[in-house]
């Protein structure tokens, strides 16, 4: 039987743990928060996934050594800010050659590393993990829907296609269709940056703007992400795939999206701090802004929507005024990236 260790008991970690357990796998979930371990093993309920029952077969632990020992796959499902510390604590217990699947979405601000790079960096420090296999699993996949078995697609991305295919085989079932992809950087870039555009989409909704605005934000947002990705050497097809435009569409339009909801509250007048508190779960778009700004500068790409979200979130800019500024920029061609 496939043995899977899930690190992180947030909504995404738990929705995947349930799915994998229902597929007949042996699933253990670790949380850094002892009260989650106690509560979820007792109630078999997750407060942010009210429609989900946690299968009795899922074992919870607060012992990171236990979750890392003897597993075929380790799934990193902690918010991006905890990926490095979790990898550092887990490193002594992770065997070389381990398949590690990251489902968190973000870019580390100081290093500009994607999250599989962060894990690889931490595991590389002791010289004992030369062959660890790192996979990014990403796509349009709200936990709220996966926890109810609604049909969902996702991409398993690894530079080693055999490992990507292994993860595809393990995760694939009749409600989760898994594709493979070898452009790990492109996949992770899309996952992190779409959250910023989803904030913009939420803000527009909060301002009372309509579907035209939303379509513009999604299209021009994808354009910004694609321009940056191409400059960074990623593959064009990644950006119009499931983890690219697919994930941007779902995050910018879904009522489940934490980023979209946070933006909505800000557009309605809350401060970013108040909005994050009200959402009550991680809002990765806010965490991704510093790295996005650095990448924009480093690769010389124009990212006006990212700049606009930064202005509203971090510099107190008035959302309505910010939209007016975007609309009244000098005219330009839609084909600029084809020419450059
Ligand atoms: N929720 C979703 O639908 C999806 C989320 N993701 C990504 O998965 C990641 C996790 O998201 P969610 O599960 O929604 O977040 P969440 O806000 O539900 O997760 C919070 C969890 O983080 C863990 N945690 C708290 N403090 C910690 C610490 N000091 N060290 C380690 N872990 C700690 C706890 O288990 C806590 O329940 C994010 O990067 C998100 O972008 C990706 C796809 C779908
Ligand atoms: O990445 C996600 C869906 O694919 C989750 O997005 P939110 O964090 O905005 O809910």
Q: Which of 169, 194, 278, 332 is catalytic?
A: 194
Q: What is the pLDDT of residue 337?
A: 62
DSSP letter for 214, please. H
**Distance from Cα 123 to the centre of ligand 2, integer Å:** 27
Q: What is the pLDDT of residue 98?
A: 98
Ligand 1 lined by 32 (C-beta under 6 Å): yes
**Distance from Cα 268 to the centre of ligand 2, integer Å:** 21
Ligand 1 lined by 82 (C-beta under 6 Å): yes
Q: Which residue has the tokens 């778009």?
A: 285
Q: Regarding the domain delimited by 3-182, which CATH topology (the fold level of the hierarchy) does it fall under?
A: Rossmann fold (3.40.50)
> Which residue ranges have their beta carbon within 6 Å of ligand 2?
105, 140-142, 195, 198, 247, 250-251, 256-260, 284
Backbone conformation region of residue 44, classed left if phi is above 0, alpha if psi is from -120 to 50, else beta? left
112: which strand partners? none
Q: What is the pLDDT of residue 335?
A: 83
Bridging pattern class, strands 3-7 and 176-181: unpaired
User: Tokens for 199?
Assistant: 């904030």
Q: Report the residue among 12, 171, 252, 278 best suited for mutation to probe ligand 1: largest number of ligand atoms under 8 A from its CB.
A: 12
**Distance from Cα 245 to the centre of ligand 2, integer Å:** 13
User: Tokens for 72?
Assistant: 């075929």
Q: Specify whether 194 is catalytic.
A: yes
CATH of domain 192-339: 1.10.1040.10
State if pTM tops 0.95: yes
Contact 155, 240 (CB under 8 A): no
Ligand 1 lined by 139 (C-beta under 6 Å): no
Ligand 1 lined by 11 (C-beta under 6 Å): yes
User: Tokens for 184?
Assistant: 């790990």
Q: Whose CA is nearest to atom 4 of ligand 1?
A: 12
Q: What ipTM does this complex have? A: 0.99
Contact 27, 21 (CB under 8 A): yes
The DSSP result for 25-64, as a single string, is: -EEEEE-S-HHHHHHHHHH--BTTBTT----TTPEEES-H
In whole angstroms, what is the distance from residue 105 CA to residue 78 CA?
Answer: 9
Q: Where are the domains of the chain?
A: 3-182, 192-339
Q: Which ligand is nearest to the CA of 103?
A: 1
Q: What angle do CA 275, 315, 272 make, to 5 degrees?
A: 5
Q: Which residues contact 272 (CB under 8 A, 6 or more apart)?
A: 262, 266, 286, 312, 313, 314
In whole angstroms, what is the distance from residue 55 CA to residue 45 CA?
Answer: 9
Q: What is the pLDDT of residue 118?
A: 98
Across 94-174, the runs of DSSP E, i.e. the strands, are 99-102, 133-138, 152-157
Rounded to the nearest 10 degrees, the angle between the axes of helix 184-206 and helix 211-231 is: 150
Q: What is the pLDDT of residue 91?
A: 98
Q: What is the pLDDT along the chain (340 residues), one digit of tens a residue?
A: 999 999 999 999 999 999 999 999 999 999 999 999 999 999 999 999 999 999 999 999 999 999 999 999 999 999 999 999 999 999 999 999 999 999 999 999 999 999 999 999 999 999 999 999 999 999 999 999 999 999 999 999 999 999 999 999 999 999 999 999 999 999 999 999 999 999 999 999 999 999 999 999 999 999 999 999 999 999 999 999 999 999 999 999 999 999 999 999 999 999 999 999 999 999 999 999 999 999 999 999 999 999 999 999 999 999 999 999 999 999 999 887 655 5
Q: Report the residue among 218, 241, 284, 309 best suited for mutation to probe ligand 2: largest number of ligand atoms under 8 A from its CB.
A: 284
């Amino acid at each position: 039987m496939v043995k899977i260790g899930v690190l992180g008991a947030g909504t995404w970690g738990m929705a995947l743990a349930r799915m994998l357990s229902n597929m007949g796998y042996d699933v253990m979930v670790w949380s850094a928060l002892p009260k989650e371990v106690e509560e979820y093993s007792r109630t078999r309920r997750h407060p942010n996934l009210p429609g989900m029952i946690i299968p009795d077969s899922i074992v919870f632990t607060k012992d990171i050594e236990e979750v890392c020992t003897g597993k075929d796959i380790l799934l990193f499902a902690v918010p991006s800010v905890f990926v490095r510390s979790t990898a550092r604590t887990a490193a002594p217990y992770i065997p070389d050659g381990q398949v590690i699947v990251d489902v968190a979405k973000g870019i580390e601000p100081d290093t500009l590393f994607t999250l599989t790079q962060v894990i690889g960096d931490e595991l590389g420090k002791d010289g004992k993990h030369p062959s660890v296999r790192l996979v990014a699993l990403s796509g349009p996949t709200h936990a709220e829907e996966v926890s109810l078995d609604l049909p969902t697609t996702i991409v398993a991305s690894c530079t080693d296609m055999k490992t990507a295919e292994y993860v595809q085989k393990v995760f694939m079932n009749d409600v989760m269709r898994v594709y493979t992809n070898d452009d790990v950087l492109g996949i992770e870039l899309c996952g992190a940056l779409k959250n910023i555009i989803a904030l913009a989409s939420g803000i527009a909704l909060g301002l009372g703007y309509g579907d035209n605005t939303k379509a513009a934000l999604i299209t021009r947002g994808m354009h910004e992400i694609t321009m940056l990705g191409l400059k960074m050497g990623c593959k064009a097809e990644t950006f119009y795939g499931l983890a690219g435009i697919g994930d941007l569409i779902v995050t910018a339009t879904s009522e489940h999206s934490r980023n979209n909801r946070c933006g909505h509250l800000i557009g309605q007048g809350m401060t970013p701090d108040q909005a994050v508190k009200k959402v009550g779960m991680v809002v990765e778009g806010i965490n991704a802004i510093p790295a996005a700004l650095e990448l924009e500068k480093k690769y010389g790409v124009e990212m006006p929507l990212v700049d606009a979200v930064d202005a509203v979130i971090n510099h107190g800019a008035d959302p309505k005024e910010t939209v007016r500024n975007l609309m009244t920029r000098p005219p330009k061609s839609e084909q600029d990236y084809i020419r450059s």
